[in-house]
Amino acid sequence: MPPLGLASISAYLTSRGLANDIIDCYAHPDSDELIIAHLLRERPAFIGFSCTTSSFFDGERLARLAKSTLPGVQVVFGGVHVSAMQEKVLEEYPVIDYVVVGEGEETLRELLATPAGQRDAVASVVLRGADGRPFFTGRRKELLDLDTLPFPDYAKLAGYPQAYTLPIFNYPKAPNASCLSSRGCPYACSYCDRSVFKRSFRYNSADYLYRHLSFLRKTYDIRHVNFYDDQFTFNRQRVADFCRMVMDAPLGMTFNCAARAEHLDFELLILMKSAGCWMISLGIETGDEELLAAHRQNPDLVMMREKIALIKKAGIRVKGLLMMGLPGETEASIKKSQKYVYSLPIDDFNLAKFTPFPGSPVYRQIKEAGTSMGTFHEDWEKMDCMQFQFIPKGMELARMEELFVDFYRAHFQRPRVMWSYVAMLWKSPDSWLRFLRHLPSFIRFTSTNKRIGKGK
Ligand code: SF4
């Protein structure tokens, strides 16, 4: 997944006359050397890091490396993890000078353009006061109209788009890419960290969206886009308008998106299919309605089944997004979930290991509850949804690992599922070529409990 947030910030800063560059440490294992060489060559005034919870310590280590290479460089951290932790980041990590809370474009621009002694006037920043104590300047009131932003600066991502190809069996054509067309989600699921966008929903207009895809097609020959939005269809009208634009003037592209079942109807699905929608990811989370009710609004599994049937009827693939190990999970709820999921006509699913991220409502509940909800080993480096860091009360880690493997293994052994992967030979031939190239690592996966792909 390309760092779309960084690419957007980069384009915005450039448009405001602030020179900048991006080094994607995920895409480049030799990022230490790249960063040192860049610092010595360009001698920037600031270096910024965008980190998740699991990559925070990598960022902090690189920040120390940057300061030892170029003493005086100012270190800024942004992203969901530090937006949740705020002052604690500066209290515990002296190498970090500033935290940008929430979305970064305008906050970072103001921070970079403001003289050192006056940066406490910049909203949405955590910095140290004259007494050395960190404080938060408060969230900014006005947020940018997303249609006024330039397209992300994809050219600054080395190897784009090939270096960022989507996971196999998640696309029909290559080259492909991820893209964002909205920010935020108004829902409040217990496990979801809303620290960056809070509960707002802002979006690009259909016209902007069409121009963005047209740009990707013309500039990079992108044939398929995965919208990484939390709620692509939350504003029905803009999606319908976008689909009609594509139908009137086709771009020769297909797309995937993620949606909540409540925000799909058959008429919209037909429009989406006609505009090239290939797959919709739906957050199912668990097939145990009681457990679901404890963690999200509208836990209606009958409605979920009906909406999935509508998506299939419209001719669009469905991917279910699931989670194992929520507080309240039991062996019985896992079995119930498995039974429900296998009864659905979904084409694929992704099962994540529940992780209580700082900033999510359930994180606070778990911390306050002590061991009464379960045991939580808060090891940030391992909080990547691929390792159980929280064990619900009454469960054992070893048994959860067994149930996790069984959930996947039993899925892959079903004839219908096996056939659907065979059908990918003609639905996504590029996926099969990549699969065969990476067969050894797939065999390793089937003998461990690591899941394929990540997120929506
Ligand atoms: S999990 Fe999905 S629906 Fe729930 S709050 Fe997060 S983005 Fe919204």
Tell whether 386 and 441 lie within a shared domain: yes
Tell whether 287 and 410 lie within a shared domain: yes
Atom of ligand 1 nearest to the CA of 186: 8
Q: Distance (Å, rounded) from C-alpha 232 to C-alpha 186? A: 12
Query: What's the CATH code of the domain at 207?
Result: 3.80.30.20
User: In the predicted model, what is the mean pLDDT of the chain?
Assistant: 94
- Is the residue at 193 inside a domain? yes
- Is the residue at 220 inside a domain? yes
Pocket test for ligand 1, best of 185, 191, 228, 296 (most atoms within 8 A of CB): 185
Reported ipTM: 0.99
CA of 234 to the centre of ligand 1 (A): 11
Atom of ligand 1 nearest to the CA of 258: 2
- Is the residue at 47 inside a domain? yes
> Measuring CA to CA, which residue among 385, 421, 406 is closest to residue 55?
385
Q: Give me 206's structure tokens.
A: 């259909």
Tell whether 110 and 233 lie within a shared domain: no
Tell whether 289 and 373 lie within a shared domain: yes
Query: What's the CATH code of the domain at 42?
Result: 3.40.50.280
**3-state class of 323 per DSSP?**
strand
Tell whether 275 and 194 lie within a shared domain: yes
Q: What is the pLDDT of residue 432?
A: 83
pLDDT confidence band for 451 (50 / 70 / 90):
very low
Tell whether 201 and 241 lie within a shared domain: yes
Tell whether 312 and 430 lie within a shared domain: yes
Q: Whose CA is nearest to atom 6 of ligand 1?
A: 192
CA distances from 173 to 147, 242, 252, 424 (A): 28, 21, 11, 11
**Which residues form ligand 1's pocket by a CB distance below 6 Å?**
185, 187-189, 192, 230, 260, 283, 296
Condensed to tens digits (0 to 9), the pLDDT of residues 26-54 reads 887 778 898 999 999 999 999 999 999 99
Distance linking the first and last C-alpha atoms of the chain: 11
Q: Residue 120: how many CB atoms within 10 A of its CB?
A: 13
Tell whether 74 and 199 lie within a shared domain: no
- Is the residue at 34 inside a domain? yes
Condensed to tens digits (0 to 9), the pLDDT of residues 189-212 reads 999 998 888 888 999 999 999 999
Q: Distance (Å, rounded) from C-alpha 73 to C-alpha 404? A: 45
CA of 252 to the centre of ligand 1 (A): 31
Q: What is the pLDDT of residue 31?
A: 82
CA of 199 to the centre of ligand 1 (A): 9
Query: 177 Cβ partners below 8 Å, 6+ apart?
Result: 2, 154, 160, 161, 164, 166, 216, 220, 222, 224, 225, 226
Which residue type is seen at 8?
S
Q: Distance (Å, rounded) from C-alpha 163 to C-alpha 157? A: 9
Atom of ligand 1 nearest to the CA of 192: 6
Condensed to tens digits (0 to 9), the pLDDT of residues 294-346 reads 999 889 999 999 999 999 999 999 999 999 999 999 999 999 999 999 999 99
- Is the residue at 152 inside a domain? no
CA of 230 to the centre of ligand 1 (A): 7
Tell whether 194 and 103 lie within a shared domain: no
Is the confidence at residue 84, as pLDDT, over 90?
Answer: yes
Atom of ligand 1 nearest to the CA of 230: 7
Condensed to tens digits (0 to 9), the pLDDT of residues 354-398 reads 999 999 999 999 999 989 999 999 999 999 999 999 999 999 999
CA of 86 to the centre of ligand 1 (A): 22
CA of 384 to the centre of ligand 1 (A): 17
Tell whether 336 and 197 lie within a shared domain: yes
Tell whether 116 and 177 lie within a shared domain: no
Query: 337 Cβ partners below 8 Å, 6+ apart?
Result: 286, 287, 288, 291, 322, 324
Task: Note the helical H segments in 21-55.
Answer: 31-42
Residue ending a domain, choose from 95, 121, 136: 136
Q: Residue 117: how many CB atoms within 10 A of its CB?
A: 8
CA of 357 to the centre of ligand 1 (A): 13
Specify the number of domains making up the chain. Answer: 2
Atom of ligand 1 nearest to the CA of 188: 5
Query: 117 Cβ partners below 8 Å, 6+ apart?
Result: none
Q: Whose CA is nearest to atom 4 of ligand 1?
A: 189
- Is the residue at 417 inside a domain? yes
Mean pLDDT (whole number) for 167-191: 94
Is the confidence at residue 56, as pLDDT, over 70?
Answer: yes
CA of 189 to the centre of ligand 1 (A): 6
Tell whether 262 and 115 lie within a shared domain: no
Mean pLDDT (whole number) for 92-110: 97
- Is the residue at 149 inside a domain? no
- Is the residue at 451 inside a domain? no
Q: What is the pLDDT of residue 456?
A: 37
Query: 231 Cβ partners below 8 Å, 6+ apart?
Result: 182, 184, 185, 186, 187, 201, 258, 259, 260, 263
**3-state class of 441 per DSSP?**
helix
Percent pLDDT > 90 in the chain is: 85
Q: 194 is in which domain, residue-wise? A: 165-446
Q: What is the DSSP string of 149-214?
A: SPPP-GGGSTTTTGGGPPPTTS-SSSSEEEE--EE--S---TT---TTTTT--EE--HHHHHHHHH
For 74, list phi and psi in degrees, rounded to 5.
Answer: -90, 135
